[in-house]
Chain A
Amino acid sequence: MGTAIQARVCWATLAMLMAGCVVHDTRPLPKINATQASSEIPAEELLDVAVHVFDPGVPSEIAKNEQALNKKRIYPDIRAAESRYVAIMLRGTLENSGQWGAVRVCPENVQFVDVSVSGKIIESTGAKLALTVTVKDSSGRVWLNNKQYASAADTGSYKTDAALRARDPFQNVYSEVANDMLTAREALTAQNRRDIRRVTQLEFAKDLAPQAMDGYLSTDRKGLVSVTRLPATDDPISARIDRIRERDSGVVDTVNGYYANFADEMSVSYGQWRRASFEEIEKEQRTLNQARTRTYLGAAAIAASVFVPQQCGLYDYNCRRLSTGVRTAAAIGGAASILSGLKKYSDSKTHAQALKELSESFQNEVAPQVVDVEGRALKLTGTAEEQYREWRELLHQMYLEN
């Protein structure tokens, strides 16, 4: 019976030690790169991509509860900035791969693009980035449906400022998304890709001149849009719509420029915040682990001092004295260990507090930038919308004239 208890105590101690000594791997991660285009893609198959600003992923149920948000390490203003920054990073990865046409970051209301990417931030700290990404093409085909991507930070990027500038700590995530998009695109035939481009063009045309461009597209039962017929090559309305579409691209380009500038502007301080955040999280984690280990060990030592059965003989006084001494020492050591563990818990809170302060400071810095960029983007897209309304009317009149 005694042996069994001893064995259990030993196993329990070992398990607790194992649990407390989880070592976080902070080595640089193997680098994943987006697959580069090895040959020229025909222009009519080159798909344009719109990366929409990501959903910041602030749970609505705790959106106003600052304590809960802090606990989850969610800082709404930082998330708002990240939702644009992540989109810009993904855009950069897609663009640099050479596999796509124009890749731009745009607001959600930009619809007429060959491939649109939208996503949500699940977790974003200096230590980890988790996203869900959905990719669709203009014909309604879903390429990636809420697929989750997550990666720990590549610590190599945190080593120097230059390394941080050169490669994002979460570049692997963006590269994975780009590679998955490429795989999905490769699954399509050349005809499919050409159709996607035509559908986009005709959808835009239909939006501008619904009467003139009616009947060119059809939607099947699954919701997939296909081209029924094409307008004549010298169709004047189509030519005019194409000219308007160039302006639409100009608007999207300009908005993309806003976001790019915004990301560029925040990148230095954001990088530093991420690095600091990573360090604080790491320290907090390490301290928490130490606290846990010490508390468990202390508890185990006290438990052992109490529950390990007496092995000495009735008249073996030396043994008894020794045993009592060991028990007392174990109890004292255990208590000291628990106290030390409690102190470590308190230290970990200091790190958490430091992270909170850092984040608040960065939030104060980045929040006005977000407001500014979003204001400008909204202003331009609003003006463009107004302009489209006028063009729609003109096209309608032209249609009537024709």
Chain B
Amino acid sequence: MGKRARIGLFAGAMAVAVTGRGCVTTPPPVAESVVAGTSTPVAESGVTGSSTPGARSSSPLAAGDATAPDVSAPPSPNTPPGAPQNSTATATRAADDAAGVAGAVGATPGASANGASADGRATSASATTGSAASQTPDERRAALDKQLDDSLGAFDARLHKEQQKIAEERDARQATVSAATAAAMADGGTGSPTAAGASTAAGAAAASGAAATVGGSGAPTAAGAATTAGAATAAGAPAGGSGSSTAAGSPTAAGAATAGTSSAGGGGSSSGTGADGSSATAAAGAHRGKRGETRNSHAGDLKSDKGTGGTPNASGNGAPATIIPDGNDDDIVARRLRKAAELETDPELKDRLWKEYVEYKKNTQVR
């Protein structure tokens, strides 16, 4: 290469550089093409939607700065039919956004009449506009669908979060109630043996969660005795049996031990077990513990209030009891089943609900 040629090349390069810098303060000649959507070099530069060399030469602004289009610019001839309306609308919004952002970030002076120099948001908006305009209707539909999907997804996430919060609040409250009930039971837990020989509630072991054994009529007899275990097990233990029954206490913080019973008949005894945290069972035991006598059933009482607690297998008929899983990891369905089982007053239906719950838990664990 000759010397002249080298000088000429250098001069040309300087001229280009000077022209490029000039783009900073002068209205961009690229606006038209941006709006028109002829933006192929965008990906290349990664900054603007312009395909003109002038735009590319605005690289000093490339680190996030961009040029917002003149919204009033007419569409270029290569805009697909039907596109101008949408692209203009989008461009208008983009320009609004850009203007807003420009104001916020301290826009480049001079960005007034035809456009606003803004940050990356404006760039992407104008780029989107450009690309949207170049899309086919199917692509635009797909884009809208995607936008809807994203929006629904975000909303789902929010709803999910809210629902999780609700579930947590409910669980926390239930745990508090269980603990409070168990503690209350523990306070009045020195029940006296009853004539029927039914087991009584023991509260002594509540705080430590240690086991307590209380015998009906002073000692475990055929008529019935109940062993109350503290927080040793997480789930309700098998209950029932004609001679004695075992009740597993609550896994709650209080670790209270409970054994409420309502058996008034001789022979077969039964006991309330802490199947699900002892909340339901505690009540009967507490009554007995406080009064030191067998609680008579009132006309207004429901079956659930008569000492069977929340256990599905407190019938004391000797049949093996279903082990109720711990409810700590219940999902919403399991929680509902569990709650329904706890609240159900019809023993038969209650039993079925517990079975349903156990079945469901098994299935979910297998999965």
State the A residues within 8 Å of B (CB).
28, 154-163, 166-167, 240, 243-244, 247, 250-251, 253-254, 257-258, 260-261, 264-265, 268, 380, 383-384, 387, 390-391, 394-395, 397-398, 400-402
Instruction: Take A243-B152, A380-B162 as given contacts and tell me if A156 and B300 are in contact as well, using a CB distance cutoff of 8 Å.
Output: yes
Point out which of B141, B151, B156, B302 has the most chain A C-beta atoms below 10 A from its C-beta.
B302
B305 at the interface (CB under 8 A from A): yes
B247 at the interface (CB under 8 A from A): no
Nearest chain B CB to A271 CB, angstrom units: 13
Are B287 and A160 in contact (CB-based, < 8 A)?
A: yes
Are B144 and A247 in contact (CB-based, < 8 A)?
A: no
**B interface secondary structure, majority:** helix
State the B residues within 8 Å of A (CB).
86, 137, 140-141, 144-145, 147-148, 151-152, 155-156, 158-159, 162-163, 166-167, 169-170, 173, 177, 283-284, 287, 298-302, 304-305, 343, 345
In the docked arrangement, what's the CA distance between A163 and B345, Å?
11
What are 29 A-to-B residue pairs whose CB atoms are below 8 Å?
A28-B300, A156-B298, A156-B299, A161-B283, A162-B284, A162-B301, A162-B304, A163-B298, A163-B300, A166-B301, A240-B145, A240-B148, A244-B152, A247-B152, A247-B155, A250-B163, A257-B167, A261-B166, A261-B170, A261-B173, A264-B173, A384-B155, A390-B151, A391-B151, A394-B147, A394-B151, A395-B148, A398-B141, A398-B148
Partner of A250, one of B141, B159, B343, B345: B159
Point out which of A28, A157, A401 has the most chain B C-beta atoms below 10 A from its C-beta.
A401
- Chain B residue contacts of A380, Cβ below 8 A: 162
In the docked arrangement, what's the CA distance between A37 and B138, Å?
49
Question: Taking CB as reference atom, which chain A residue is nearest B180?
Answer: A268
- Chain A residue contacts of B145, Cβ below 8 A: 240, 398
- Chain A residue contacts of B152, Cβ below 8 A: 243-244, 247
Question: Taking CB as reference atom, which chain A residue is nearest B340?
Answer: A96
Question: Taking CB as reference atom, which chain B residue is nearest A158?
Answer: B300
Are B300 and A159 in contact (CB-based, < 8 A)?
A: yes
Q: How many A-B residue pairs have CB under 8 A?
A: 97
Are A156 and B301 in contact (CB-based, < 8 A)?
A: yes
In the docked arrangement, what's the CA distance between A161 and B302, Å?
11
- Chain A residue contacts of B287, Cβ below 8 A: 160
8 closest A-B pairs by CB: A156-B300, A162-B305, A257-B166, A166-B302, A159-B300, A159-B298, A250-B159, A162-B283
Are A28 and B299 in contact (CB-based, < 8 A)?
A: yes
Are B173 and A401 in contact (CB-based, < 8 A)?
A: no
Question: Taking CB as reference atom, which chain A residue is nearest B141?
Answer: A401
Are A160 and B163 in contact (CB-based, < 8 A)?
A: no
Nearest chain A CB to B97 CB, angstrom units: 15
Question: Taking CB as reference atom, which chain B residue is nearest A162?
Answer: B305
- Chain B residue contacts of A258, Cβ below 8 A: 166
